[in-house]
Structure 1
Amino acid sequence: MKLSLKESERLDDLQFEGLKIVQDRNLYSFTSDSVVLANFLKIKRGEKAVEIGSGSGVISILATKKTNVSHITAFELQQPLYEMSIKSLQLNGIKNVDVINDDVCNFKKYLSVGSVDVVFSNPPYKKEGAAAKNENESKAIARHEKSLPIEKLVKCASDMLKFGGRAYFVYDADRSAEMIYHLICNNLQPKRMFFTENGRKKPILFVVEAVKGGKSGVKVLPNLVTNDSDGNYIQEIKDGIWSK
Structure 2
Amino acid sequence: MRGEETVDELRAHGLRIIQARDGYRFSLDPLLLCAFAALGAGERAIDLGTGSGIIPLILARRCPDATFVAVEMQDGLAALAARNIALNGLDDRIMLCHDDVLALRRRFPVSSFDLVLSNPPYRRRGSGKVSPKRGRDDARHESTATLADFLAAAKYLVKPTGRICFIYHPSRLPELLAEAARQKLAPLRLRLVHGTAETEARMVMLEFAKGRHGDLRVLSPLVVRDVRLTYTAEVQALLGEEGTVAEAR
User: Is the TM-score greater than 0.5?
Assistant: yes
- Counterparts in 2 of 1:233 and 1:30: CA distance versus 1, 3 Å: farther
User: Quick one: distance in 2 between partners of 1:123 and 1:213?
Assistant: 23
1:218 aligns with one of 213, 216, 219: 216
Which residue of the partner structure matches residue 164 of structure 1? 161
Deviation string 1:86-119 (CA, Å, 9 cap, x unpaired) is 1111111112001111101111232112222110
> How far does residue 11 in structure 1 lie from its aligned partner after superposition?
0.2
Structure 1 residues 32 and 233: CA distance shift in structure 2, 3 A: farther
Q: 2:209 is aligned with what amino acid? A: V
TM-score under structure 2 length normalisation? 0.88
What's the CA shift for 1:238?
Answer: 5.0
Q: Match for residue 241 of structure 1?
A: 238
Aligned counterparts of 1:42 and 1:139: Cα–Cα separation in 2: 28
Gaps of 5+ in 1: none
**C-alpha contact (below 8 Å) 2:23/2:134 kept by paired residues:** no
Per the alignment, residue 94 of structure 2 pairs with 97
Letter of the 1:90 counterpart: A
Letter of the 2:127 counterpart:
A
In the alignment, what sits opposite 2:144?
A: 147
Q: Structure 2 matches for 1:42-57, cutoff 5 A?
A: 42-57=38-53
The 5 A counterparts of 1:24-103 are: 24-67=20-63, 70-94=66-90, 95-103=92-100
Q: In terms of mean alpha carbon deviation, does 182-191 or 165-174 score higher?
A: 182-191
Tell me the residue number matched to 1:178. 175
Higher relative contact order (CA 8 A, sep 6+): 2
**C-alpha contact (below 8 Å) 1:123/1:148 kept by paired residues:** no
Q: Deviations over 1:45-86 (max 9, x none)?
A: 221111100001001100112235521111100111111111
Instruction: For 2:185 and 2:64, locate their aligned partners in 1 and report how far apart those are by CA, in whole Å.
Output: 23
Counterpart residue number, 2:245: none
Cα distance in 1 for residues equivalent to 2:49 and 2:5? 20
After TM superposition, give the deviation of residue 203 of structure 1 in Å: 0.7
Work out which of the residue numbers 5, 15, 22 in structure 2 matches 1:9. Answer: 5
In 1, the alpha carbon distance for the partners of 2:215 and 2:204 equals 17
* TM-score, normalisation: structure 1: 0.90
CA RMSD, aligned part only?
1.9
SS at match of 1:242: helix
Counterpart amino acid of residue 15 in structure 2: L
Task: Report the Cα distance in structure 1 between the residues aligned to 2:166 and 2:230, rounded to whole angstroms.
Answer: 22
- SS, match of residue 239 in structure 2: coil
Which residue identity is paired with 1:241?
L
Contact persistence 1:131–1:140 (CA under 8 A): no
